[in-house]
Chain A
Amino acid sequence: GQQLNQSPQSMFIQEGEDVSMNCTSSSIFNTWLWYKQDPGEGPVLLIALYKAGELTSNGRLTAQFGITRKDSFLNISASIPSDVGIYFCAGRPGTASKLTFGTGTRLQVTL
């Protein structure tokens, strides 16, 4: 099965910094989802995007559905220690019903 290209693979940032990560696909997607996973737990949905160009916020998190429908971005502003975890993107190709997941971005925050 196809996997999305998610970058960066890992990030070490200082508390208070802004974070950006992205996912790209070689094919068109009609849904993008962003999840956060804490160690040993299931992923928790952060933001869902359904329309090209859509920009949606959830507190300090903002995600965008790329205009080409082949990419999506997640930004975290003013990071705090509890932002630590693995962030996954997931997308649904235009002609399929199953989600495809990225390989994750591991975020570590230092004080």
Chain B
Amino acid sequence: DGGITQSPKYLFRKEGQNVTLSCEQNLNHDAMYWYRQDPGQGLRLIYYSQIVNDFQKGDIAEGYSVSREKKESFPLTVTSAQKNPTAFYLCASSMASGRQETQYFGPGTRLLVL
């Protein structure tokens, strides 16, 4: 089955703790994205990567970090510097960034602060 998997489904973070959200895709897509979704709001871009070993900041990158060591994987770390991390985090991927790019989403990870 081709698709995007995110784990865990729910994640709890303690004060001052870094946590890492996993995103894996077996669609052979070049580009991968991380979005944050808050209640009643649209999706806001955190980071994106168009190719292995390269990534760019999105609109709300502060307090987050990413890596792209493999084409299939794009983990997101929520650092202790992110003061309001409670949100629904969505990973997406696309064949390539360009005019007819279409992004497909994973099932999401809900992060809660203890």
- Is B40 in contact with A97, judged by CB distance below 8 angstroms? no
- Is B106 in contact with A42, judged by CB distance below 8 angstroms? yes
- B110: chain A residues within 8 A (beta carbon): 40
Whether a CB of chain A sits under 8 angstroms from the CB of B108 is yes
- A101: chain B residues within 8 A (beta carbon): 35, 42-44
- B99: chain A residues within 8 A (beta carbon): 30-31, 50, 92
CA distance A97 to B82 in the complex (A): 26
CA distance A103 to B40 in the complex (A): 7
- Please count how many residues in chain A sit with their CB below 8 Å of the partner chain's CB atoms: 26
- Is A42 in contact with B105, judged by CB distance below 8 angstroms? yes
The distance from the CB of B58 to the nearest CB of chain A, in whole angstroms, is 7
- Is B105 in contact with A43, judged by CB distance below 8 angstroms? yes
CB within 8 Å of B: which A86-111 residues: 88, 90, 92, 97-99, 101-104
Whether a CB of chain B sits under 8 angstroms from the CB of A57 is no
Chain A: CB-nearest residue to B104: A45
CA distance A48 to B94 in the complex (A): 13
- A92: chain B residues within 8 A (beta carbon): 99, 101
Give residues in A with beta carbon < 8 Å to B: 1, 3-4, 6, 30-31, 33, 35, 40-45, 48, 50, 88, 90, 92, 97-99, 101-104
